[in-house]
Structure 1
Amino acid sequence: MPRPDALRTPAERFVNLPDFPWQPHYIEGLAGYEGLRMARIDEGPEEADHVFLCLHGQPSWSFLYRHMIPVFLETGARVVAPDLFGFGRSDKPVDDAAYTFTFHRQSLIALIEALELRHITLVCQDWGGLLGLTIPPDMGDRFDRLLVMNTVLGLGGGSTEGFDAWRRFHGDHPDYDMPALFRSYIPGISDDAAAAYVAPFPDPSYRAGVRRFPFLVMTEPDMEGVDVSRRAARWWASEWRGDSFMAMGERDVLIPPRLMRRMHEILGIKRPPLCLPEAGHFVQETHGGHVARAALAAWGEG
């Protein structure tokens, strides 16, 4: 059982998910998160040469990576795709105020340390990047490569019209129809896949993390996480020695191409981005396999 201030989604909610055959692995007692259980997909050999650490955003969960995981596994790598607390199969504190930038960032650091992950390829998008891109500066010896999709570092420099609309929507409709949202952002997504995104949330009491995340994005200079994000930006530009690959969904209204081009500069990526004219924000959902194969080919593994 989870601790009294958290919920745990019943396992039967995750039966027969489309194209998602992997069974969850659980870890309890992460340092600083006693009483909470974190779920992850963890496939491939522990002793693999590469570990793909796939970090999702909001309002998704590790299900988002189902088209990329098989491509990574074909190389003999290990793939670890955690569900952030409040999402997927992980425990969900019920108090909106429990969700902060530091709460999530430190949980990922604790997971990396607990699993003793090394030779990591960081794969990130949305909040997976807002959080994940700040971690290698504190444990750079564990990271070898970066595969980044539509995301930013939260540098406190303002917002976009699309993101402002996203934030207002969450404020006005905190318990919105999630499958309908995915259908609107991902034209052509199947009804089964759209429904799978809401599987972790049987009722609104499970959705504190979903409600809170849009208001944590660091659009103002005094917000929590700005300092560590600015430090990360300096580190990526001057100290990162690994190999990086960017894929960019050009129809993204939340993080438009101009911001991704700026991220390309901030991260010091040498090779041109893979531009996807038909992709929106959820690149993994529509072009995941293609992006995974393109990154591997760029790294000489295709």
Structure 2
Amino acid sequence: MPLDAKRTPDARFENLPGYDYAPHYVDDLPGYEGLRVHYVDEGPQDAVRTYLCLHGEPSWAYLYRKMIPVFLDSGARVIAPDWLGFGRSDKPVDDAVYTFNFHRNMMLELIKRLDLKTVTLVCQDWGGLLGLTIPMDMPDTFERLIVMNTAIATGVSPGAGFDQWKAYVRSQPDLDVAALMKRGTPILSDAEAAAYGAPFPDATYKAGVRTFPELVMVAPGMEGVDISKRAAHWWANDWSGDSFMAVGAQDPVLGPAQMEQLRQTIRDCPEPMIVADGGHFVQEWGEPIALAALQSFGEL
């Protein structure tokens, strides 16, 4: 039986500032039949490189609007999907549907469906919590990494900042996403903040927003811990690609200290680019980050 899911009206996504990318959809991924997954797909289909840009909570592909043009200018293809429950993807209404493996397996199937090759993984927040567990199962697909304000969660809380965030979201079942983004990223205009809120007309669309903080693996027995431990070992011992790290220094949850721990996990990851004014959603300072990443990879 198909899952009960909401689909945000297209009109909510009209005239978003700085974002005019045509939507692409797939609704028949194995195990997710009937659920429509959205992704941005820009640049040549036969490009030498593909950038796979994975967002986190409670954002969507709009988060990458300042980085996508830089990647496109390099001649690459850019894919920026929305996790189920976010953006233009369908939003199952039952909170219990949302699990670590529900999201991870969807992304594995989408990568296979799009037959992505020579991929640079670009990730932040849940884009990393989930995305950093994927290359070990598709090692021939991924060649480079751009990682920002995220973690590999192996059963320990990232700290008091996260505990406070989790408690706050739990107290806000109808979280005002636009207000949250404006507060955490003061450089946003009101229209940009509203674009982050566009996917969520009311609380019935926000199951994903409510559940993502609850899914972070802060205890040893939680779903995803074993996969993440295996991923951490893989990044430390088997990863041989180029890496680039950028850190929003003002992030109270996954800031410089947490990112240094992650850097020590990723084999041969160089010193990070510190974005002094950047917060958790550091992609809002994304153009200089993308340019610095390309320069570090020898493309500029």
Q: State the TM-score, normalizing by the size of structure 2.
A: 0.98
CA displacement at 1:3 relative to structure 2? 4.5
CA contact (8 A) 2:245 2:269 kept: no
Report matched runs for 1:236-275 at 5 Å.
236-275=235-274
Name the structure 2 match of 1:288: 286
**More displaced, 4-13 or 118-127?**
4-13
Please give the alpha-carbon distance, in whole angstroms, between the structure 1 residues aligned to 2:2 and 2:197.
Answer: 23
Please give the alpha-carbon distance, in whole angstroms, between the structure 2 residues aligned to 1:269 and 1:20.
Answer: 34
Moved over 2 A (4+): none
**More displaced, 185-194 or 267-276?**
267-276
Identity %: 56
Q: Which amino acid aligns with 1:63?
A: Y
Please give the alpha-carbon distance, in whole angstroms, between the structure 2 residues aligned to 1:243 and 1:67.
Answer: 22
Please give the alpha-carbon distance, in whole angstroms, between the structure 2 residues aligned to 1:256 and 1:295.
Answer: 19
Please give the alpha-carbon distance, in whole angstroms, between the structure 2 residues aligned to 1:75 and 1:219.
Answer: 39
Report matched runs for 1:26-105 at 5 Å.
26-105=25-104
Does 1:298 find its partner at 2:283?
no
User: 1:160-194 CA distances to partner (integer Å, 9 max, x unpaired)?
Assistant: 11111110001111212221111110112100000
Please give the alpha-carbon distance, in whole angstroms, between the structure 2 residues aligned to 1:138 and 1:16.
Answer: 38
CA displacement at 1:28 relative to structure 2? 1.3
CA contact (8 A) 2:27 2:33 kept: yes
CA contact (8 A) 2:240 2:267 kept: no
CA contact (8 A) 1:48 1:77 kept: yes
Please give the alpha-carbon distance, in whole angstroms, between the structure 2 residues aligned to 1:115 and 1:30.
Answer: 11
**More displaced, 96-105 or 151-160?**
151-160
CA displacement at 1:260 relative to structure 2? 0.3
For the residue of structure 1 that corresponds to 2:140, the secondary structure is helix
Name the structure 1 match of 2:215: 216
User: 1:92-117 CA distances to partner (integer Å, 9 max, x unpaired)?
Assistant: 10000000000000000000000100
For the residue of structure 2 that corresponds to 1:201, the secondary structure is coil
Q: Which runs of 5+ in 1 are unaligned?
A: none
Q: Which amino acid aligns with 2:219?
A: E
Q: Which amino acid aligns with 1:48?
A: A
Q: CA RMSD in A?
A: 1.1
Q: State the TM-score, normalizing by the size of structure 1.
A: 0.98
Name the structure 1 match of 2:180: 181
Name the structure 2 match of 1:22: 21
CA displacement at 1:157 relative to structure 2? 1.9
CA contact (8 A) 2:117 2:141 kept: yes
Q: Which runs of 5+ in 2 are unaligned?
A: none
CA contact (8 A) 1:245 1:269 kept: no
Does 1:192 find its partner at 2:196?
no
Q: Which amino acid aligns with 1:289?
A: E
CA displacement at 1:272 relative to structure 2? 1.1
Q: Which amino acid aligns with 1:215?
A: E
Q: Which amino acid aligns with 2:242?
A: D
CA displacement at 1:270 relative to structure 2? 3.5
Please give the alpha-carbon distance, in whole angstroms, between the structure 2 residues aligned to 1:242 and 1:232.
Answer: 15
Does 1:172 find its partner at 2:171?
yes
Please give the alpha-carbon distance, in whole angstroms, between the structure 2 residues aligned to 1:210 and 1:23.
Answer: 24
CA displacement at 1:242 relative to structure 2? 0.7
Q: How many residues align?
A: 300
Please give the alpha-carbon distance, in whole angstroms, between the structure 2 residues aligned to 1:223 and 1:186.
Answer: 31
User: 1:71-90 CA distances to partner (integer Å, 9 max, x unpaired)?
Assistant: 00001100000010000100
For the residue of structure 1 that corresponds to 2:197, the secondary structure is coil
